[in-house]
Amino acid sequence: MQPPHSLIYTLAALITLTFFGTVAPATTIDIIQTFDYPGVTATLPQKIEDQTDLVGTVITADGAVRAFIYKPLRHSFSPLLIPPFANHGPTQGRGINFRRHVVGEYL
């Protein structure tokens, strides 16, 4: 004899409802500090390293794309990063390590 479908659905619902309390709670994002590179149109942070330095990309008023490093503990920005072999094309800061070596893209 087969049990009625409504009994199976009820049991499935009761078993499922017991697992809802075990789901990880949602996390929130706290904004600690905001910053903008001075005199540019857009500041696009990319990565943060262990000592809290950030690397990112800015878009200047004339449309140039350049990389930068921001040191939040000092509230200071590096000069815009332009490698000598980049032919003054766009540079984008994509990552930074604990020695402050920056990786990214350039044209």
Q: Has residue 46 been placed in a domain?
A: yes
For the stretch 31-87, pLDDT in tens is 777 889 999 999 999 998 887 889 999 999 999 899 999 998 888 999 998 877 767
How many angstroms separate the CA atoms of 68 and 79, rounded? Answer: 7
What pLDDT, on a 0 to 100 scale, did the predictor assign at position 20? 62
How many angstroms separate the CA atoms of 37 and 100, rounded? Answer: 19
Total-model pTM:
0.66
Q: How many domains does the chain have?
A: 1
Q: Has residue 47 been placed in a domain?
A: yes
Q: Has residue 24 been placed in a domain?
A: no
Q: Has residue 26 been placed in a domain?
A: no
Dihedral angle sign, alpha carbons of residues 98, 99, 103, 107: positive
- Compare 68 and 88 and report the one with higher pLDDT: 68
What are the Cα distances from residue 25, in Å, to 1, 15, 16, 32? Answer: 43, 20, 17, 21
Q: Has residue 53 been placed in a domain?
A: yes
Q: Has residue 29 been placed in a domain?
A: no
What pLDDT, on a 0 to 100 scale, did the predictor assign at position 85? 74
What pLDDT, on a 0 to 100 scale, did the predictor assign at position 41? 93
Residue 12: pLDDT over 60: yes
Decide if 89 contacts 107 (C-beta within 8 A). Answer: yes
Domain of residue 101, residue span: 40-106
Q: Has residue 98 been placed in a domain?
A: yes
What pLDDT, on a 0 to 100 scale, did the predictor assign at position 32? 75
What pLDDT, on a 0 to 100 scale, did the predictor assign at position 3? 54
Q: Has residue 14 been placed in a domain?
A: no
